Amino acid sequence: MFLWLTGFLLVFLLRQADALSGQRPYELVVYTSPHPSSRLRSCVSLYFRETQPHKGLPLDLGAYISHRLPSPLSPGGGYPRDPASQSEITKYLSFNKTLLWSKALDVCGHPSTWSQSIFLDENLVDDNIDLAKTQQVLTSPVPPSGSVIDRVPSLDIVPLILSGPSANRVDLVFFSDGYTLEERQKFMEDAQRLADDISSNHTFNTVKPLLNFWAAFTPSNESGIGTGGKPKDTPFGLYRDGTELRGVYYSKPDQARAACFSMGDKCNYPILMGNDPLYGGLGGEFTVITPSLANGALVLRHELGHSIIEVGEEYDGGFAYFGPNAAPDVSAPLPWQQWLTYPPAPNSSPRIERSVMPLQNYAWTLLNTSSPWSIEFDSSGLYSRYVVRFSLSGVPEKEALDVEFDGGNLGWTPRKDIGVDRWHYDIRLNEPLPEGIHEVKFALKDKALEGTAQLCSVEIMEFGDETQFNATSGYYGAFPTFSEKNETTIRPTNEDCLMRQVTTPNFCKACLEGLWLSLLSRVNLIDEIHAGCIKAPESSSSGAWRRTINLKLVPLAEYRDETVDAKESYHITWSRAGKVLDQYTNKTTILVDDEVGVTYSTSVRFATEEVRVDEHGYLQSAQDFTLVSKCDV
Ligand SMILES: *[C@@H]1O[C@H](CO)[C@@H](O)[C@H](O)[C@H]1NC(C)=O
Ligand SMILES: *[C@@H]1O[C@H](CO)[C@@H](O)[C@H](O)[C@H]1NC(C)=O
Ligand SMILES: *[C@@H]1O[C@H](CO)[C@@H](O)[C@H](O)[C@H]1NC(C)=O
Ligand SMILES: *[C@@H]1O[C@H](CO)[C@@H](O)[C@H](O)[C@H]1NC(C)=O
Ligand SMILES: *[C@@H]1O[C@H](CO)[C@@H](O)[C@H](O)[C@H]1NC(C)=O
Ligand SMILES: *[C@@H]1O[C@H](CO)[C@@H](O)[C@H](O)[C@H]1NC(C)=O
Ligand SMILES: *[C@@H]1O[C@H](CO)[C@@H](O)[C@H](O)[C@H]1NC(C)=O
């Protein structure tokens, strides 16, 4: 049930199901976008609720943690940057509600000026945070038309892959858009296929025990997604700008926010899935995808990488490079120095692999047969090899398109069974480019494909020889990445990461380590501790009964259902009143006397080859357990 108060104050009654023992902090999330007529940012939306613990947050009521996420771009880059994609998300966490509420006022101004939608957890509405006053202020204004939320869409929620209680997991939800009631089964199958694809044998496979996947179905009145900037009659109003395969945008963000918010701990990362078979998507507050057979999983894992690991791009031509896979240069130790194949000698920097990008163009242009699309670039002639990298959609046959380089045909052939969907191609030439002007040309041959055939992007990169540029997969070093302004940042590998090459199924080790740390900052390795009673042998000095204390751990290492290649271990220690109980090291069940008021402490440390540096101790959890009653009463 939820209440809608005029003036956009939405109060949700959230029942925190299966919450673990231990105090839960509060979370404030503020979405801002650039103000059209001033340099200030305006608040677009605000969430305020109780949330899952964060291991980095001190219990101290004077403390909070915050982080700001620029809204990341979409896979492939070069999308138009509309105001929505320039929105920023700032998250604050604290155990002090008053402190968070004052942050909300700091960022969004006095509530009398608010016109954004506000999502509040019912149990936060009390005198402590001055909300009573706020409500009075908010009861008068009539919401501008078009921004009213009628209701949370009806959600038919089905688990896809569950690993544990949502209060102690990171939960991803697929929401349906453009699937009619008759297409419910198709939605469930699409969602299941994508969840399986990104977690079964690659990408999120090793961290799967920290994740839950859900499908939340809302029937649409119309099937499919909108085109030409016009949404259809669907719950979240997804649409494409034109008809070409590119971004997929949403027109009802408040509906999507309400849907995710209403699910509480079950919705950490919302995914809006538009019922369209071809490429498209968007990153940011919501991950927008299509179930395209060729591209759905590619877009999904790339965008989730942005959201969960909090990394920027790795491909050339982007504008945001940050996180564990990016460094401005090699002057300071690299964030991935623990992964370098050849650690540099003390007081020296790693070598920067020798390459340059003489051409980068996100054309996103429809091709025609009257005149080819072509572009020239200048080469210095100083490199040993080069690659022509491009992506196309709407060209199913090789006869339909000639890709030419300096007048010669590059012999492009489409990916098998790609049809009209988008795909990425690399044509590598193991010879130097002569100094001077060169030309790449895309000549459409089949008139029937006009209006469909599209050149999405084209890039030329030149490389030094094997001693100057190590292109081998598995080599960790310092590779230059070139932004849309041709500014250089450094990345760890040549092409090992799906944040660079969306067709690569895996993250590089730096990103994967970031993924573990991000997830384990929110997941307690201990799912549950409970006590039991067993009859002790006659000889026992403490009477007839003994207690068992049982630890239920998140199923990693030897407790996994399915094994993984990476070596992992759990190290468990127990103590009683501060004294270590050596005999119980690495045991999940211990046997102790039946006494009241004794406190046992357990501390658990997880290790995996995929994490080499755990600065904040996120791979550890500890818990006290006090026996409060006797078996024999
Ligand atoms: C909670 O936050 C408020 C506002 O910042 C502050 O005045 C108060 O002292 C904090 N409470 C505690 C116990 O630190
Ligand atoms: C994962 O499994 C699928 C289907 O069995 C297979 O096509 C794919 O190559 C596998 N990926 C990896 C990285 O092993
Ligand atoms: C479908 O149409 C009905 C009647 O016009 C409307 O009330 C409802 O909100 C629509 N549902 C969606 C998901 O758009
Ligand atoms: C980027 O800068 C490098 C070095 O200045 C230059 O050689 C290259 O042509 C530039 N690329 C583009 C696309 O401007
Ligand atoms: C055909 O494509 C070329 C290259 O993109 C463009 O310059 C031209 O305007 C297009 N012609 C038509 C008739 O659309
Ligand atoms: C290139 O990287 C591979 C894989 O890490 C390594 O074995 C090889 O020695 C490197 N080559 C050079 C020339 O550094
Ligand atoms: C407990 O497990 C850890 C991790 O596998 C191991 O290093 C340690 O030796 C074990 N200790 C005992 C006493 O078994």
Domain contains 11: no
Pocket test for ligand 4, best of 316, 463, 481, 482 (most atoms within 8 A of CB): 482
Please indicate whether residue 102, judged by its CB atom, sits closer than 6 Å to ligand 1.
yes
Q: Are residues 170 and 191 in the same domain?
A: yes
**Does the pLDDT value for residue 417 go beyond 90?**
yes
Question: Is residue 500 a part of any domain in this protein?
Answer: no
Q: Is the CB of 98 under 6 A from ligand 1?
A: yes
Task: Please identify, among 451, 469, 487, the residue that sits at the C-terminal boundary of a domain.
Answer: 469
Q: Would you say residue 146 has pLDDT above 50? A: no
pLDDT value of position 385: 97
Burial of 45 (0-12, 13-18, 19+ CB in 10 A): buried
Does some domain include residue 463? yes
| Residues 284-325 pLDDT 10s | 888 999 999 999 999 999 999 988 998 888 999 888 899 999
CA–CA gap between residue 204 and residue 214 (Å, rounded): 15
Mean pLDDT of 466-474: 96
Q: What would the two tokens of residue 289 be? A: 């995808």
Q: Is residue 518 part of a domain?
A: no
Domain boundaries, position 93: 22-151
Q: Look at ligand 2, atom 9, and give the residue with the nearest C-alpha.
A: 201
Q: Give yes or no for residue 2 having a pLDDT over 50.
A: no
Domain boundary among 434, 469, 504: 469
Atom number of ligand 5 nearest to Cα 372: 4
Residue 259: what pLDDT?
A: 92
- Indicate if ligand 5 lies below 6 Å from the C-beta of 368: yes
164 and 290, same structural domain? yes
Number of domains, the chain: 4
**587 occurs within a structural domain:** yes
For the chain, helix, strand, coil in percent to 5 are: 20, 35, 50
What are residue 93's DSSP bridge partners?
A: 27, 65
Q: Which one of 179, 217, 233, 255 would you pick to mutate in the ligand 3 pocket, going by the greatest count of ligand atoms within 8 A of its CB? A: 233
pLDDT digits 0-9 by tens, 182-195: 999 999 999 999 99
User: What's the pLDDT at 123?
Assistant: 63
Task: Summarize the confidence of residues 566-584 as an average pLDDT.
Answer: 96
CB under 6 Å to ligand 4: residues?
Answer: 356-360, 486
75 pLDDT exceeds 70?
A: no
Position 97 in a domain: yes
Residues 112, 177, single domain; the answer is no
pLDDT tens for 585-627 read 999 999 999 888 999 999 999 999 999 999 999 999 999 999 9
Q: How many CB atoms lie within 10 A of CB 57?
A: 15
β-pairing verdict for 599-608 and 589-593 = unpaired
Residue whose CB lies within 8 A of the most ligand 5 atoms, among 373, 446, 450, 455, for a mutation test: 373
Q: How is the beta sheet containing 589-593 ordered, strand by strand? A: 526-535, 545-553, 589-593
Does position 116 have pLDDT exceeding 80, yes or no? no
Residue 135 pLDDT class (50, 70, 90 cuts): very low
pLDDT tens for each residue of 320-367: 899 999 999 999 999 999 999 999 998 899 999 999 999 999 999 999
Q: Are residue 173 and residue 304 in the same domain, yes or no? A: yes
- Specify the DSSP element, H or E, that contains 138: helix 131-139
Task: Tell me whether residue 484 is in a domain.
Answer: no
Which pair of tokens denotes residue 153?
A: 């869409």
| Top-ranked range on mean pLDDT: pick from 133-137, 172-176, 527-531 | 172-176
Is the per-residue pLDDT at 39 higher than 80?
Answer: no
SS3 assignment for 281-301 = EECCCCEEECCCCCCHHHHHH
Please give the number of the atom of ligand 4 that sits closest to the Cα of 359. Answer: 13
pLDDT of residue 70: 64
- The mean-pLDDT minimum among 103-117, 261-275, 285-299, 338-352 falls in 103-117
Ligand 1 in reach of 363 Cβ (< 6 A):
no
Residues 601 and 557 placed together within one structural domain of the fold: yes
Ligand 6 atom 11: the closest Cα is on which residue? 470
If pLDDT is split at 50, 70 and 90, which confidence band does 95 have? very high
Q: In the prediction, which pLDDT does 67 show?
A: 85
CATH number at residue 618: 2.60.40
The more confidently predicted of residues 67 and 400 is 400
Q: What is the structure's pLDDT at 148?
A: 35
Q: Are residues 439 and 551 in the same domain?
A: no
Give the ligand whose atoms come closest to the C-alpha of residue 233. Answer: 3
pLDDT score for 145 = 34
pTM over 0.75: yes
Same domain, 115 and 32: yes
Q: What is the rounded average pLDDT for all residues in the chain?
A: 87
- Return the pLDDT at 74: 53
Q: Express as a percent the part of the chain with pLDDT over 90.
A: 69
pLDDT confidence of residue 9: 36
In Å, how far from its chain's centre is CA 591?
Answer: 42
In three-state secondary structure terms, 101 is helix
| Whether residue 196 is found in the same domain as residue 234 | yes
Q: What is the mean pLDDT of residues 424-450?
A: 97
Please determine, for residue 573, whether its predicted confidence score (pLDDT) is greater than 90. Answer: yes
Residues 181 and 296 in one domain: yes
CA distance linking residue 456 with residue 62, whole number of Å: 50
180 and 146 together in one domain: no
**Is residue 427 a part of any domain in this protein?**
yes
Q: pLDDT above 70 covers what percent of the chain?
A: 87
Q: Are residues 288 and 363 in the same domain?
A: no
For residue 128, which ligand has an atom nearest its CA?
1
Q: Is the pLDDT of residue 564 over 80?
A: yes
Q: Sorting pLDDT into bands at 50, 70 and 90, what band is 143? A: very low
Q: Is the CB of 61 inside a 6 Å radius of any atom of ligand 1?
A: yes
Query: Under the phi-then-psi rule, with left for phi > 0, alpha for psi from -120 to 50, and beta for the rest, what region is 486?
Result: left
Least confident range from 48-52, 191-195, 567-571: namely 48-52
Q: Tokens 């307690």 label which residue?
A: 524
Cβ-proximal residues to 93 (8 Å cutoff; 6+ apart), any chain: 25, 26, 27, 28, 51, 54, 57, 64, 65, 66
